[in-house]
Structure 1
């Protein structure tokens, strides 16, 4: 009888433990799902400002920055754009691998297909300059420096690649100095994808948008 009564009691304890583990696991899944939904429901400005270190943007600045980021991501899927950006940023006219977005349409040689997008980005950047008191936005391409160090003067951007373009906002970083990266979803909304390191950006299809002049927290 002892064995019989003891066994059910042990089994009951085991089932209780399993139930607790399952409950905790389910709670964890629910928390992760809720966290994911919370991120997806945030505006672009809210996503930026939720990072420990970030530029202070008013709503009009954030909306313009969001529109510019979307245009850059769409363009960065095209090898012609990637080639043009590399060719221009590797010149380091400002001392870094960047280009002023307001002059994008004037600096980059563009075919008919890209010209409209270049003009749109230039116009949006000029609007940002107006609402921010003269802050000029730049597009920084870290990978250009890596190509140069490797002695690659003509990267082949026309090969098929699964390296989807990502956007990072300058002066936005975590305590470990990683930065949130964004991509476009199926609805062409900017969504957080991952936190990226400097090394990752130097070796991936990452574009940094912003300005050192943007006020930080």
Structure 2
């Protein structure tokens, strides 16, 4: 399998290249320090991209979206120190098929890469716990995605901005917003924003 490793820390790239390169069935095609470079390195022969999230020039989530459009066969595994729910959801919505922590031992990571190539979705156990937790401060009637939309509305984002932030169509955002208002028995997004901030106190 041919891999590309993407991380803005050159030491991380070189360490992973050295460790994973020892696996007989894994070959590192190249390394990149940002998402833009990663997109440029991908070819029809690339199988897996190990992708950091927070990087300069272009972050890993934006890069993943572009890669999945240009090369649908490439499996992207997010490799990060972040466990927060928003990053996890954004990465998975962008098309990532895996999300593991940088603290994962190289041997285990190699096995996860092999599993990813077979079509399995890989989530680190700690990451899985994070994503399965109910949204903090939100009533049980809302899904985690609906809670994401409520938070965006409270931050003053328009439907178009929410669609870009959460990788949804504007029509989907509009429909989900209507459902949320019905669930919470609120009249409009202004009341929704007030509702959010009152619960955050």
Give me the TM-score of the superposition, normalised by structure 2: 0.22
Give me the TM-score of the superposition, normalised by structure 1: 0.20
Larger of the two Rg values belongs to structure = 1
Structure with higher RCO (Cα < 8 A, 6+ apart)? 1
